[in-house]
Amino acid sequence: MRKFFLALTLLSLSVSTGAIAQQQRSGTPEEQKACSRDVQRHCRPVMDQGDLIVLSCLQQNRPKISAACDKVLKDHGQ
């Protein structure tokens, strides 16, 4: 059941982030730097599963991520 909700979440994310994903797959170097520690700290197990999975992980850990990474997500409508 949890996998179903995760898939549903990712589907909705892929629709809303389609333009962003096509325009810039992994973000600017500055954006990557802003979120790299958070990805290492909170999303290490899913790092190799694609950008949308990492994005979902960061969103799930939003209360724990840095202000800089939170700003990157907000700047991209997440």
For 68-78, write each residue's pLDDT tens digit. Answer: 999 999 999 99
* Residue 29: φ, ψ to 5°: -55, -35
pTM of the model: 0.65
For 1-13, write each residue's pLDDT tens digit. Answer: 445 444 445 455 5
Helices (H), 24-66: 29-42, 51-60
Q: In the prediction, which pLDDT does 6 show?
A: 46
Residue 46 is classified by DSSP as: G
55, 8 Cβ separation under 8 angstroms = no
